[in-house]
Amino acid sequence: MHTRGRTAGIVLGTFACYILGFLLLRRYFYPVLRRICGFLHIIYIGGYFSAALFELALLVFVLLMMKCTGQLRVLRAPRGTFFRGLFTGGFMIAMALYAIVSAIISRMDSLAFQGKGTILFSTILFLFTGMAEEFMFRGITADVLLRGGFGAAVKNDASVCGKDAVSLREAESTADGIPGSAPRTQAVTPGRVWRAVLISGLLFGLMHALNFLSANPTGVIVQMISAALVGMLIAAIYCRSGNIWVVAAIHAFNDIAAGFPTLVLRGDGGISGIIGSYGLMHLLTLLPYGIALLFLLRRSKMGEIAENFAP
């Protein structure tokens, strides 16, 4: 059985690997891309096109981490849970739509759109970002904390059937401590759920400290606090839905909404400008997210979450 200490080591170790991988990619990806373009005599295209390729490389790195840790199985989400998950995460979808509509209305007198290339590649960038970050912070971090270890068996997993299913049930029914027997599965308790939500959200917020490399410090601090709470809410949606693709889609859509004023409509500053615009007043807008978090993880829903993540 995974002890708390071992689980903490797993979570912090994968987080450290993610940060190190991000920094190494940031240091070497763009120079290597330029060299490849020069070698192939292809014009190097910077901006959001190369940024989207960077996020694709980061996504591949996260998928390799998931492969090495046995967490790729979270990509096999139970059938019929995607649209139910979107309904569960309806609050975040509604807030994103509100942000988009507000941005359009506030610029009605001088409404102008970016070029098609900017809109296309920034959208692809956010799609890859949503997938990479959700696979890491919900598909690895939150899932490991919920199940108590890497590669824990998934309920109704098609790969566990017949004799394997019988063997698994027999192994789980064997008492702990008997030589050669499998450890008894840890129950998904409310405390375990809240621990998974809080820790994955806090690490998600801490990850945004990387933006100190390119954006206004005050804006980055506010973004870190905002990201931590939003990350907790996304983790709650993952707990309720058990579907990683739902939270990846919601994450990407919220990023698109946040970047809409400058990346779809004509505005200044790009992504760094968006982060730099965050002030302390922005924190007041987080109150509804906190209320939504408490609502999603109310006591009456803990049994549903335990069932979603039962082996």
The least confident of 24-38, 251-265, 294-308 is 251-265
pLDDT score for 172: 41
Considering only CA atoms, which of 80, 93, 91, 127 is closest in space to residue 242? Answer: 80
From residue 55, give the alpha-carbon distance in Å to each of 26, 99, 197, 258, 280. Answer: 10, 24, 24, 18, 29
Is the predicted pLDDT of residue 155 greater than 60, yes or no? Answer: no
Note the pLDDT tens digit of each residue in 130-154. 999 999 999 999 999 998 766 654 4
Mean pLDDT, residues 228-251: 96
Is the predicted pLDDT of residue 117 greater than 70, yes or no? Answer: yes
pLDDT score for 244: 96
Which residues neighbour 32 within 8 Å (Cβ) at sequence distance 6 or greater?
A: none
Note the pLDDT tens digit of each residue in 240-263. 999 999 999 999 999 999 888 887
Directed axis angle between helix 90-106 and helix 244-259, to 10°? 20
Backbone angles phi, psi at 306, to 5 degrees: -60, -35
Mean pLDDT, residues 156-170: 39
Q: Which pTM was predicted?
A: 0.84
Considering only CA atoms, which of 158, 194, 192, 195 is closest in space to residue 78? Answer: 158
pLDDT score for 227: 93
Note the pLDDT tens digit of each residue in 44-71. 888 889 999 999 999 999 999 999 989 9
Of 58 and 266, the structure prediction assigns the larger pLDDT to 58
pLDDT score for 278: 73
Is the Cβ–Cβ distance between 248 and 66 less than 8 Å?
A: no
Backbone angles phi, psi at 123, to 5 degrees: -65, -45
Is the Cβ–Cβ distance between 88 and 233 less than 8 Å?
A: no
Is the Cβ–Cβ distance between 82 and 248 less than 8 Å?
A: no
The least confident of 79-83, 127-131, 147-151, 221-225 is 147-151
pLDDT score for 311: 65
- Could you give the 3-state DSSP secondary structure of residue 242? coil
Count of beta carbons in the 10 Å neighbourhood of residue 290:
12
Q: 190, exposed or middle or buried, with CB in 10 Å at 0-12, 13-18, 19+?
A: middle
- What angle is formed at CA 147 by the lines to CA 143 and CA 152, rounded to 5 degrees? 95
pLDDT score for 186: 62
Instruction: Give the model's confidence band at 176: pLDDT under 50 very low, under 70 low, under 90 confident, else very high.
Output: very low
pLDDT score for 204: 96
Of 42 and 250, the structure prediction assigns the larger pLDDT to 250
Is the predicted pLDDT of residue 184 greater than 60, yes or no? Answer: no
